[in-house]
Structure 1
Amino acid sequence: MITENKLQISMSELARVTGVSTSQLRYWERKGYIRSKQDDKNKNHYFSLTTMISVFTIKYFLDQGYTLTVAVKKEEERKQLGIIFRRFIADQIKAIKQLPAEKGEVDLGTLEENPTQEVYAVIDQAGTHLHTRPVKKTD
């Protein structure tokens, strides 16, 4: 649902949730900083969850004292890093399993330089710990 941008909110809801006025949102949309979908009568604007995150981020940078142009640029950089991170998650996480004592394990696959070894992470209350182990042979 989220990746398909089916979750949408109105401009007034976006303004209320983010603290950015509807007039600012309209201006940002005219400038091409954010995008909406409009209803059949082209009156109501609806924004995706990803756009809502962009608005939060732009506002955060504006509140830090950056100009709108710089805030939008910083948001674009954040968005690109998000794309890279989602690609990593989609490509590298092979399996996730629950371990005893509130621990978990994430299988990250084999090492490119040594395909006989796999990387895995153990996550517990102390943090995340990366390890390697021999690849289990399947029959």
Structure 2
Amino acid sequence: MVETSKGGLFNTEKLIFGIRQVTQITGVSSRQLRYWEQQNYISPIQQKKGTSRQYDMHTLLKIANIQRFLSQGFTLSVAVEKAIKVGREAPLIRDFVLSRMNGVNIESDDRATIDFGFLDDSHKQRVLGVIDHGKTSFEIIDEV
């Protein structure tokens, strides 16, 4: 595993995407991207004059989320607000889940459980996240 200062598998700040790659990945046209830049919704990374636009992973995810919300029927300004909110919430959710996750048990193609550890300091019950036939739920089980 490659460690980074943020504890991830790799340093996502070094993942750089050209404008063509961004359009292919997200389905957002280069014309739309330029408009979003003019509106200060997104920003390319600093670049040398005469080179094509490049975007970091954070901006790529923001673009993908804006596009997702637009496809759900939201206006551009609302889609941008929602994408900003997702961008703020996602690291918190990731950090919480990773700090609580003790393991994954793949029971079959249709069922898996995620062990989130003990419910409280009594260590009498465990919290499991369950994925069963595409549906998610939680189970609290007694420790034996």
**Alignment check: 8 A CA contact 1:105 1:121 kept:** yes
Name the CA distance, whole Å, in 1 between partners of 2:29 and 2:87. 22
1:90 maps to which residue?
Answer: 98
Following superposition, the deviation at residue 43 of structure 1 comes to: 2.0
The structure whose Rg is larger is: 1
CA offset digits 1:67-96 (Å, max 9, x no partner): x33221121122223223212221211111
The answer to which of 80-89 and 22-31 deviates more is 22-31
**Secondary structure, in 3 states, of the residue corresponding to 1:5?**
helix
Q: Does 1:74 align with 2:82?
A: yes
For residues 18-97 of structure 1, what are the structure 2 equivalents within 5 Å? Answer: 18-39=26-47, 43-63=51-71, 64-66=73-75, 68-97=76-105
AA aligned to 1:118 is R
1:107 to 103, 115, 137: 115
Q: Is the 8 A contact 2:114 2:128 kept in 1?
A: yes
Comparing 104-113 with 122-131, greater Cα deviation is found at: 122-131
- RMSD (Å) for aligned C-alpha atoms: 3.0
Give deviations 1:47-74, integer Å, cap 9, x for gaps. 23432232132234345251x3322112
Q: CA deviation at 1:2?
A: 6.3
Q: Alpha-carbon deviation of 1:41?
A: 5.3
Q: Structure 2: how far apart are the matches of 1:17 and 1:105?
A: 31
Of all paired residues, the percent bearing the same amino acid is 27
Stretches of structure 1 that go unaligned for 5 or more consecutive residues are none
Residues 96-129 of structure 1: CA deviation (Å, up to 9, x unaligned)? 1233x43322111111364322112343326344
Q: TM-score, normalised by structure 2?
A: 0.69
Contact 2:12/2:57 (8 A) holds in 1: no
Which runs of 5 or more residues in structure 2 are unaligned? 1-8
**Aligned CA distance change for structure 1 residues 129 and 72 (closer, same or farther; 3 Å):** closer
> Structure 1-normalised TM-score?
0.70
- How many residues of Structure 1 are paired with residues of Structure 2 in the alignment? 134
